[in-house]
Structure 1
C-alpha cells in the first residue's frame, strides 16, 4: 500500500479510503489511486476487498442456547454447510427465543456487516419476527412451517408424524396417546396435527394427549399420567421425552413394547442403544443446513434456488413397538 501511495502522490490513509470504498474522495484523487493500483498490480487483503465491493463473505446464524438435539444439530449443519460454500459463519446464541432477544441478535449481526442470516429458532416469536420485519439483509428460517415465511427450509414434520402414527395403526393399535412438545412451537403443532390426521384417516378416535416441554422430565411425568390409562401405544414428539416416558411406564409395571408401544421423533444418537431400542422418526438435519445455505446463497446472488424447501423424514422401526398384546401388566 505504501508503494501505491508514493506512485499516486497521496497518503497511506487516502489509499486505504479508496480501497475501502469511502464515498468522500475527490474523483481525480480516486482515479490516481486506482491507476497506481493497476500499474503496480496491488492486491488488497481479503477484508479490504470485501469492503470495497460491499461483500463480507460472512453470514450470521442465530440459534437458541439449548441442549435440544434438533436445534443444536441444525445449527451445526448450517455452520458446516456455510464453510463448504465459502462463507464464514458468525453465530449469535440467545437464551430464549423471544421477540426482544431475537431482535437484538439480528441487529448485532447486521451491524457486523453479514451478508445474510439463517435463523435457527422454531418458536412462534421467531416466525412472527421473520414474517413482519423488514431486514436490510436476506433472512432464511430453518424450520418446517413454510406458511409462516417464504424463505424457510426444514423437515416435513406433518408427514413424519403421520408415518409414526401410521406405523402404530398398521401394527393393530387403536388407542394411541400423544405426548406433544410445547404447542408454542410450530414443529410441535405439526407433529400433533399429523398424529390426529392419521388417526382420523384410520377411523380412530384420538387417545389421551399430554403437552410436554421436550425434556426427559416432562416425558417421565407424562408416562406416570398415562400408565393407568387404557392405551396400548404412545407417539412422543421427541426422543428425549420418549426416554423419560419409557422409564415411567416400566416403573409403573407397563412393559415396553409388550403392554405399550412407544414411538419417538428425531433419532438421537442414543436411540438405537436404549432398552428397548427406540422406534423413531429420523430427521435429516444435514440436508436442512445445506438447503438453508443454498436458499440464502440464491437470495444473495439474485438466482433463486429451485430445490425443495422441505426434506422428508424417515421412520426407523426398532424394538419399542410391536403388535398390541392382551398380556396382563408386569407386576410393579
Structure 2
C-alpha cells in the first residue's frame, strides 16, 4: 500500500495542500474549523508525518530529549510515563539518555544533539549535573527540581509547602515537636523539605532537633530507627525511608501512631498498604511530567521566557499519624 500523501489529505478535506502543510507544521494561519477538518482527514486516511522531510523544511525534528540518572525510582519512572504521553499528545517523539556522573552529562547533551532534538527535560538527580555543566548553545532545557538558574526553565513540586503541611498536621495533634528523617544533602528536594520542616517548627515556636539523614532507601530508614527511638512524631522525607522506619519502630516494640506518629512524602502507589497505612504528602508526578513538556513546548514553539513553575503538594492523612 502506498504512503498517504498531503495531496490525499487535501483532497479528502477539500482544502489545498498548502493548508495541510500549515496544519502539519502547527502554523497559526489556519482557522480552528479548517484545522479540525484536516486533522479528521489525517485520522481517517492514516496519514503519518514524515519527520525527516519535516525537519528539512522547518529545521526542527519535533523530538525532545529526556536526561535522567536513574529510572529505578518511583518518581522518575512515573514522570517518564507522563512525559512520554504528553510528548506524544503534542506529536513529539522522545529520546532518552542516562547519566551516571559529572563526566557523562556533556556526553548526554552531545548524544541528544546528534539525534537532532529540539530541547530536553532533565529529571531530578540529573539536574545538579546540568547546573554544573554548560549545555550546548541553542538547546532549550526544562529541569525538574532545581535552584533558580536563568539558563533554563524550572518545574518543581512545592516541597517546602508540603513539608510545612506535614509538620502542622503533627503539631495540631499535640506533639511538642516533630523530628525529621531527611534525604541526602545533594538533593534539591531533600533540602527544600528540610527547609519547610524547620520553618514550620520555627513558626510554631517548637524545638528543632538535629535532622537524622538517610539516602532515600528503606534500608536507611530502618537504620535511622535507633536515632529516632525517643521521638513522638517524625516527618520523613520520602515514603521508602518511612517504610524502613515503620519496621524499625515495630522491631523496637513501639506502636505507630500510639507511641510515634509518622508522616512521609511522595504518596507512592503502595503507601496506603503500609502497616499502618501511611500519612504522606502527595507529590503529583504525572502533573510534573506533563507540565515539564508543556513548558518545553512553549520555549520551542512560542519562544517563551524561562521561569519557574510550581506544582502543589497535598497532605493525605491516613492511620500512621
TM-score normalised by the shorter chain: which range applies? 0.7 to 0.9
The alpha-carbon deviation at position 305 of structure 1 amounts to: 7.6
Contact 2:219 2:241 in 1 (8 A): yes
Q: What's the TM-score, normalizing by structure 1?
A: 0.77
What are the residue-to-residue correspondences of 1:310-325 with 2, within 5 Å?
310-321=310-321
TM-score w.r.t. the length of structure 2 is: 0.80
- Cα distance change on mapping 1:54 and 1:123 into 2, 3 Å: closer
Q: CA deviation at 1:127?
A: 4.6
Structure 1 residue aligned with 2:221: 219
Q: Would you say 1:71 and 2:73 are equivalent positions?
A: no
Question: Structure 1 stretches (4+) deviating beyond 6 angstroms?
Answer: 305-308
Deviation at 1:295, TM superposition (A): 0.9
Trace 1:166-205 onto structure 2 (pairs within 5 A). Answer: 166-205=168-207
Mapping for residues 173-322 of structure 1, pairs under 5 Å = 173-227=175-229, 229=230, 231-304=231-304, 309-321=309-321
> 2:316 and 2:151 mapped to 1: Cα distance?
30
| Structural RMSD (CA) | 2.2
- Report if aligned partners of 1:277, 1:320 keep a CA contact under 8 Å in 2: yes
* Greater C-alpha radius of gyration: 1
SS in 2 for 1:86: coil
Aligned residues: 274
| Residues 91-102 of structure 1 mapped to structure 2, 5 A cutoff | 91-94=96-99, 96=100, 98-102=101-105
Cα distance between partner residues in 1 of 2:270 and 2:187:
24
Between the aligned partners of 2:115 and 2:76, the Cα distance in structure 1 is 23
**Aligned partners of 1:162 and 1:145: how far apart in 2?**
19
Please state if 1:88 is matched with 2:88. no
| Cα 1:268/1:149, change in 2 over 3 Å | farther
Contact 1:176/1:232 (8 A) holds in 2: yes
Report how far residue 177 of structure 1 moved.
Answer: 0.9
Decide whether the 8 Å contact of 2:141 with 2:152 is kept in 1.
no
1:105-124 to structure 2, matched below 5 A, reads 105-122=108-125
CA distance, structure 1, for counterparts of residue 207 and residue 126 of structure 2: 29
Alpha-carbon distance between aligned partners in 1 of 2:170 and 2:125, rounded to the nearest angstrom: 27
